[in-house]
Structure 1
Amino acid sequence: MIYLLATIVLLSVLVFVHELGHFLAAKSVGIRVETFSLGFPPTIFKKKKGDTVYAIGAIPFGGYVRMSGMIDESMDTSFEGLPPQDYEYRAKKTWQKIFTSIAGILMNLLLAIIIFSIMSGIQGIASSSPDPILDIVIEDAPAGLAGLQPGDRIIQIDDFRIYTWDEMAGHIREAGNKEIRVTYVRDQQEYTVPVTPQLQKRIQDGKVVEIGMIGISPIVNMEKAGFFGAIGEGFKNTSYWLNMTFVSLKLLVTGQESFKNVGGVIFIGQLAGESAKAGILPFIGLVGILSVNLALLNILPIPGLDGGHIIIAIAEGIMRREMKIKTKMLIQQIGMFLLFGLLILAIINDVLRLFQ
């Protein structure tokens, strides 16, 4: 039950914030919003206020804002053949269309910055100790199997004296899966043991590389963050996850990463449940990470996504006229087909993971 509830809460927050961005932006430039729905039909609650119907759908895994005069996933063409009205999306200036389309993305990024800032304010700012002293040793990883323990100080790898954690980590990475001899100090006594690192994939300089890992972590010190320090960390962490998401997408597109690693709602549900069981901070941290993911995915120039609407708005601005509705419909249908295919792929991957 906790997995389902965590998934619903997580997706509801992400979708609500995203769609709220579109809603507020549309209102600010005079676009009529016909529907603001959290969740998909069948509708379990709705109330009309002004020109807008506010609704809650029975299917909680999504939501939408329907604007007058806009071809979106609803495929509404009721305005075809009619002159543009002042309150319609299609009647607005190019910058207003772009602003309305990108507002959801900006709201997701703002949510991430707020979340990471709050977490930094509560937890403090983490800084790793430069000393080559082990804090965490994974028991079934190479270091643990070789007998290394938390508190051990590494002083030499093969013929190289070690003075800092970075020096030690560098030698382990470069060793790949070749055996190394690790000399450490425990209770003022020196010991030397053979350790064979395991090759693991990591993203480095925008590429997937295999490096040696032995399953250890340094001592991490938490420093109290002031107000501006916490906000700075919020921007820093948001930037970090933006870059990680961008690199991951790049690796998928270029074939350096397999589409088998693409996850869907089931995978997100697993992450949500596990993070919720770990505590409130891990859970809201996941919300922040996925909010960044959602922002970057939506800026992609794919029909059906915000990026696709932005491209169409720019094209219409260049042509100085509205694109034919049939053309917009075709573009939208192609985009929905691609997104539906990606959704099916993600679900298949999720199911296969469950049986692995």
Structure 2
Amino acid sequence: MEGLIMAAQIILSLSILVGLHEMGHLLAAKMFGMRVEQFSIGFPPRIFSFKYGETEYALSAIPLGGFVKISGMIDESMDTEAMKEPPKPYEFRSKPAWQRLIVMLGGIIVNVITGIIIFVCLTFVYGEMFISNDMVNENGGIVALDLGEELGLKTGDQIVKINGQEVHDFSEILNPNTFMGSGAYYSVIRDGESKRIAIPDDFIDKMNSKEAQSNFVMPNIYKMPPVVGRVEAGSLADRIGLKPGDKFLNVGGVTINKFEDIQNVLKGYNKDSISMEVVREGETLTYNEYFGKDSVIGFAVDVPVEKKDYSFGQSIGLGTKKAFGIVFLQIKAFGKMFSGDLSVTKSLSGPIGIAKAYGGEWIWERFWSMTGLLSMVLAFMNLLPIPALDGGHVMFLTYEMISGRKPSDKFLENAQKVGMAFLLLLMVFIFFNDIFKEFLKPLIG
């Protein structure tokens, strides 16, 4: 069931984004009087279609892209026969270069606008949920896990700055931007002394997965207030009906001030029953329960999460910043890959990896967040100067506008073939890389 939910989310998301992208090309083309022959969401075989005016609109079966066929344009259809005829006034090739440039940028512009709108709306509707870094530092600092210790961090460190900038949201410590720059560093307070922990340029390669990030650092939950977060099914906490938000006052006759106090009581506890006092919504509840076969109470501590709401005006600025932050992160990632600091195989994800990022539960906030992210990534990827992508057409049109010379149709046809072959090989590589990462690598170990 989870697999179906993942697949449904990525199909819906890509259908929305591809449809809007191709609509950007279509509207720009029609604005300049170009004839649009076909508009398709997905690639053939066709599921259904209808014709309105001069354009056939279709929904096709392979939901990994789409296309707009504009008369007189060398594109993926490779309709070379039509290009042998004399140019007609309504054709793409008959229009001024600046108009053709706007048409090719139309899809990218719409994707950028879509991404901005999504992040603005998400910021306005949901605000921002965050763990206060000050709160973490006041409650024991971090727990340094394997990768954190490898970097030089230690349990109890208080991370106060990243690259000289104060840290307010604990998630900034794990933000990919932290590891993308050159000469990055953490400023920490350890045993009352300030220390600088350098982040090697290639450390991002070690942090390039959710599993690795969960093995880096975490808030020191043992020093946190003893408040119930998640209750484990079938545990003692579940049997007696503890609920998220319950706060422990006493366990086994010992006053509890932090989660670590509970751990200390349970170490070596050898009595058949255990007494507990918790406060729930101002009411104190007392329990005295059989504990003979248990070693834990069975709950995860609640790490306090704060929420910050924004006005619509504030959301416009912050949402736009988030959207373009994704593009800047992509640029940095490409730079890291070209320099060898970031593994290509670890970094590239195809449909399987993207579907997993949506998750096996349909959560609308996460769905739209992923859709906004994909919209900005698609805009960036389409702008790359590769023939067969919008960026390839933009590159040749820019050359034409600067030099005053238009590349020959034969050159454009060959460039399109080379670009399509490259993209096909890239898609095959990404797809099989997905299969290897998700299915084969866990078996190999």
Q: CA deviation at 1:333?
A: 0.9
The gaps in structure 2 that reach 5 residues or longer are 150-154, 160-165, 179-184, 193-198, 206-211, 221-302
Amino acid at match of 2:369: G
Equivalent in the alignment of 1:333: 417
* Structure 2 CA distance for aligned equivalents of residues 303 and 288 of structure 1: 26
Q: CA deviation at 1:253?
A: 2.7
Q: CA deviation at 1:319?
A: 4.9
The answer to whether 1:8 aligns with 2:92 is: no
Task: Note if contact 2:156-2:190 (Cα within 8 Å) is conserved in structure 1.
Answer: no
Q: How big is each residue's C-alpha offset from its partner over 1:105-138, in whole Å with a ceiling of 9 and x where there is no partner?
A: 1111111111111111111145663525268999
Q: CA deviation at 1:280?
A: 0.6
Equivalent in the alignment of 1:111: 114
* Structure 2 CA distance for aligned equivalents of residues 224 and 344 of structure 1: 43
Shift in CA distance, 127/86, structure 1 to aligned 2, threshold 3 Å = same
Task: Note if contact 1:35-1:52 (Cα within 8 Å) is conserved in structure 2.
Answer: yes
Task: Note if contact 2:143-2:219 (Cα within 8 Å) is conserved in structure 1.
Answer: no
The answer to whether 1:277 aligns with 2:361 is: yes
* Structure 2 CA distance for aligned equivalents of residues 143 and 82 of structure 1: 63
The answer to whether 1:120 aligns with 2:130 is: no
* Structure 2 CA distance for aligned equivalents of residues 283 and 140 of structure 1: 31
Task: Note if contact 1:142-1:215 (Cα within 8 Å) is conserved in structure 2.
Answer: no
The answer to whether 1:129 aligns with 2:132 is: yes
Q: Of 304, 314, 335, which residue of structure 1 is paired with 2:398?
A: 314
Equivalent in the alignment of 1:226: 311
Q: CA deviation at 1:298?
A: 0.5
Equivalent in the alignment of 2:389: 305
Task: Note if contact 1:300-1:308 (Cα within 8 Å) is conserved in structure 2.
Answer: yes
Q: Of 35, 38, 62, which residue of structure 1 is paired with 2:41?
A: 38
The answer to whether 1:268 aligns with 2:349 is: no
Shift in CA distance, 3/128, structure 1 to aligned 2, threshold 3 Å = closer
Q: TM-score, with normalisation over the residues of structure 1?
A: 0.78
Q: CA deviation at 1:97?
A: 0.9
* Structure 2 CA distance for aligned equivalents of residues 121 and 143 of structure 1: 35
Equivalent in the alignment of 2:380: 296
More displaced 10-residue stretch of structure 1: 66-75 or 323-332? 323-332
* Structure 2 CA distance for aligned equivalents of residues 139 and 156 of structure 1: 10
Equivalent in the alignment of 1:240: 325
Map 1:1-356 → 2, pairs under 5 A: 1-125=4-128, 129=132, 131-133=134-136, 141=145, 201-202=203-204, 213-216=216-219, 221-261=306-346, 262-272=348-358, 274=359, 277=361, 279-353=363-437, 354-355=439-440, 356=442
* Structure 1 CA distance for aligned equivalents of residues 412 and 345 of structure 2: 32
The gaps in structure 1 that reach 5 residues or longer are 146-152, 158-163, 184-197, 204-209
The percent of aligned pairs where both chains have the same amino acid is: 35
Q: CA deviation at 1:349?
A: 1.0
Task: Note if contact 2:143-2:217 (Cα within 8 Å) is conserved in structure 1.
Answer: no
Amino acid at match of 1:236: K
Task: Note if contact 1:4-1:269 (Cα within 8 Å) is conserved in structure 2.
Answer: yes
Q: TM-score, with normalisation over the residues of structure 2?
A: 0.63
Task: Note if contact 1:133-1:219 (Cα within 8 Å) is conserved in structure 2.
Answer: no
Q: CA deviation at 1:309?
A: 0.5
Amino acid at match of 1:243: F
Q: Report SS of the residue matched to 1:41.
A: strand
* Structure 2 CA distance for aligned equivalents of residues 214 and 81 of structure 1: 63
Q: CA deviation at 1:142?
A: 5.9
Q: CA deviation at 1:239?
A: 1.6
* Structure 2 CA distance for aligned equivalents of residues 156 and 271 of structure 1: 30
Name the Cα RMSD after superposition: 3.7
